[in-house]
Structure 1
Amino acid sequence: KGINKIRSKKTELLYAEIEYMQKKEIELQNDNMYLRNKIADNERVRQQQMNMLPSTRNQFEVMPPFDSRSFPQVNLLTGNSLPSN
């Protein structure tokens, strides 16, 4: 008789735990859907903002590539790279 009481109490606790976990799962799924929708909205807004900006890519395509040979060489490793007065 005592074992049956223990088993029924254990079963009751397991069912309560399962019910709690099922509710928690539904809450997490709802939170997940909310966050997915929020991310999609933010991406949509960001895409609209990017479409409104003038295209700067063309400006950079027209710019000539950087040529380091047109600048004087500065040796940063030596302390006497600056002219002394």
Structure 2
Amino acid sequence: MKRERGKWLCPTCKITSKRAHLQALHEYFLLLGPTITNSKAREFLQITSLIVAGNLLAEMDLEMEGSKRGSVYQFKINKISPAK
């Protein structure tokens, strides 16, 4: 899926979702470990905006350690369930 105008759009079937990042990040945490940075989130979600990535991570209510460039977001399995 590709992020366009505040939504995720599947270029093949044209389905849109506002919450597709939740499933993607849930899978990231399961596969790669319980922490992520803004930079890693942008790379994984294939988005360029620092602000959008920060907003998507903040929306997930992850625990944040550090500040500004050194921020690391911690996944807590009992807080987040994948998007349906």
TM-score range (shorter-chain normalised) is under 0.3
TM-score by length of 1: 0.20
Give the structure with the higher percent strand: 2
TM-score by length of 2: 0.20
Relative contact order, higher structure (CA 8 A, sep 6+): 2
Give the structure with the higher percent helix: 1
